[in-house]
Structure 1
Amino acid sequence: MQKIILGKTGIQVTKNSFGALPIQRISKKDAVYLLQKAFYNGINYFDTARAYSDSEEKLGAAFSYIRGKLIISTKTAAQTGEELKKDLEESLRMLQTDYIDIYQFHNPAFCPKPGDGTGLYEAAEEAKREGKIRHIGITNHRIAVAKEAIASGLYETMQFPFSYLAADADLEIVEMCREVNMGFIAMKALAGGLIHNSACAYAFMDQPQFSHVVPIWGVQRESELDEFLSYQVCPPSLNDELKAEIEKDKKELAGDFCRGCGYCMPCPAGIEINNCARMSLMLRRAPQEGWLSQEWQAKMKKIEECKNCGHCKSKCPYGLNTPKLLKKNYEDYKTFL
């Protein structure tokens, strides 16, 4: 299997890596089976977070007995040094380990630095000295914060959304990381479910200019895992057919669209923003029946209760006018009923 050195960490990880956010939606038994199948078929890097409900617990159940043979990264959304210490201890307990390979600040609205008054970076450094974490990383959805983190020299890895739908500004982040030998971990390589052909996504990531990029594929079903495992044996090449599909997707998804990251949540009116705000795309890119169910009709109708409070708009890392996007999607949705 193709392996990548993750920047200055010196860690060697599989180009095909496992994003463990989706396993919080399946049973512990099924999650352990998927995780172990991934490992025994060559995948050695698994990414989770304290915020992913029981994802860490499932990784711990799957890997406690072979901990030294794989790489685990997790994340903290702590706002203070004391909160970070509590999060870290809970992550270590759930993962059934005494160290974490890469400990990441989880999408902070600012770039944590020594002396910024939060104590976050100092707490991470202390944990590193104690051997509880081995490398300090950061994840983000904001271009400005990502650039500041890269320029700071404080972080060994950057986890950032990246797929073939990436804008020029996103590509700049990827290149900046390469120039300073900072590990680049690509989240949302399938654009939050909007990209349906995983062969296209894989072939795009496999280009020489992205040889330093490690995509973490979110896996929930065995069929999804099998797809990515098959690419290890027979990697898809970026032929004319796949290039045409990529160009078609780029045209269809150009402009402002919701990535489904969920950082706008929760909504004071109870609207499921991360799905409702991209309903028009989902209706056109997936079987419609599921999205037109009574359950989804009720969820979309909640948009009528939008308070226009601006809460979601202020928290969107992509600067979207979310209330406007919700209403536009709702009007379009009604034309399908």
Structure 2
Amino acid sequence: MKTVTLGRTGITVCKNGFGALPVQRVSAEYAGRLLRKAYDAGVNFFDTARSYTDSEEKMGLALSDVREKIFIATKTPSTTVEGFWRDLETSLRLLKTDYIDIYQFHNPSFCPKPGDGTGLYEAMQEAKAQGKIRFIGITNHRPHVAEEAVESGLYDTLQFPFCYLASDRDVALVNRCKEQNMGFISMKGLSGGLITNSAAAYAWQDQFDNALPIWGVQRESELDEFLSYIDNPPSMDDPKIKAVIEKDRRELVGNFCRSCGYCLPCPAGINIPQCARMSQLIRRSPSAGWLTEESQKMMLNIENCLDCGHCKSKCPYGLDTPNLLKANLADYRDILAGKAAV
């Protein structure tokens, strides 16, 4: 089994991590089956968050009896000390544990530091002193915040979007984490569903011996794919995998929505993470699912855009979201017209 060590934490785990955001979308029974199957196959790193509705609770129900054999990472989105402690105590209770291995600030708009006036980093230090957390982490979608966190030396781990659509800046960030002996956790290894070849996704991640990908799964068939790579890891030496990656990079790198959701809520009720990448989704998965009456209604809601600039100002990737939405709507209409003509 291939393993990865998260920098100075010394935490060494299976190269396949379990991202538990999607289990909030399935029943407790089904979530438990997924979590337990992953554990039984050798997965021992599980990442969740206070913001993922009942994900922590489902994880606690499924894995509390093997707590000492796994590593748990969770997150707080709080911007106040009071909220920090409330989130931590809630997470401990729901996860049925008395400590969190890695407690992470969840995508803050700045890099919390001692003496910055928020008291957030000091709260982390106090929680660690009390034994309620073992290591201090941060997650982010903003490259400048992530880079500041790495250079600060204050954090044991960084969680950041990383997949084979990554930019040179993203790759440099991962390499810098290695230089700083800082653990790196790869989120969105499938780019929010735009990457559909899990073998290619795994093989590319495998090139970075300090990166721990956390795969978000909500179907047993998806989990089975990643579990199969534990004993039979796909390789970048495979010309078919190289071809898939090269094709996807040609089609997808650049001005595309990563589906991080930080533009929400939209004042006009537009489902931005879906609508802003419809052009890619409809060409990379069975189109029928995106041409339903419900999907058409969702896309036509783009016409109600207020041009308020909220989504654009919140996008950590600097996308011109309103124009991206309009371009996707125009393309969607063309696809619908072509479908009708056939």
How does the TM-score come out when normalised to structure 1? Answer: 0.98
Matches within 5 A, 1:115-264: 115-207=115-207, 210-238=208-236, 239-264=238-263
Distance in 2, Cα, partners of 1:317 & 1:254: 16
SS of residue matched to 2:8: helix
Deviation per CA, 1:208-230: give whole Å up to 9, x if none: xx001100000100001100111
8 A Cα contact 1:150 1:177, kept in partner: yes
Distance in 2, Cα, partners of 1:82 & 1:149: 23
Matches within 5 A, 1:254-293: 254-293=253-292
Distance in 2, Cα, partners of 1:68 & 1:112: 30
8 A Cα contact 1:102 1:135, kept in partner: yes
8 A Cα contact 1:276 1:326, kept in partner: yes
- Consecutive unaligned residues of structure 1, counting only runs of 5 or more, are none
Identity across matched positions, percent? 64
How does the TM-score come out when normalised to structure 2? Answer: 0.97
8 A Cα contact 1:24 1:52, kept in partner: yes
Distance in 2, Cα, partners of 1:91 & 1:37: 23
Distance in 2, Cα, partners of 1:326 & 1:147: 29
Shift of 1:254: 2.3
Deviation per CA, 1:49-85: give whole Å up to 9, x if none: 0000100000000011111110000001110111100
Once the two structures are overlaid, the 10-residue window that deviates more, 5-14 or 152-161, is: 5-14
8 A Cα contact 1:279 1:333, kept in partner: yes
Shift of 1:42: 0.3
Distance in 1, Cα, partners of 2:44 & 2:64: 14
Shift of 1:5: 1.2
Which amino acid is the alignment partner of residue 8 of structure 1? R
Distance in 1, Cα, partners of 2:169 & 2:124: 29
Distance in 1, Cα, partners of 2:87 & 2:45: 21
Distance in 2, Cα, partners of 1:16 & 1:180: 23
Distance in 2, Cα, partners of 1:131 & 1:237: 40
Name the Cα RMSD after superposition: 0.6
Distance in 2, Cα, partners of 1:81 & 1:173: 29
Matches within 5 A, 1:89-128: 89-128=89-128
What's the counterpart of residue 22 of structure 2? 22
SS of residue matched to 2:253: coil
Which amino acid is the alignment partner of residue 95 of structure 1? L
Matches within 5 A, 1:304-319: 304-319=303-318
- Consecutive unaligned residues of structure 2, counting only runs of 5 or more, are 337-342
Distance in 1, Cα, partners of 2:60 & 2:88: 14
Structure 1 stretches of at least 4 aligned residues deviating more than 6 Å after TM superposition:
none
What's the counterpart of residue 322 of structure 1? 321
Which amino acid is the alignment partner of residue 331 of structure 1? A
Deviation per CA, 1:176-195: give whole Å up to 9, x if none: 10110100000001111111
8 A Cα contact 1:82 1:123, kept in partner: no
Distance in 2, Cα, partners of 1:320 & 1:36: 39
Deviation per CA, 1:159-201: give whole Å up to 9, x if none: 0000010001111110110110100000001111111000001
SS of residue matched to 1:159: strand
Distance in 1, Cα, partners of 2:119 & 2:323: 38
What's the counterpart of residue 3 of structure 2? 3
SS of residue matched to 1:122: helix
**What is the number of residues matched between the two proteins?**
335
Distance in 1, Cα, partners of 2:38 & 2:254: 35
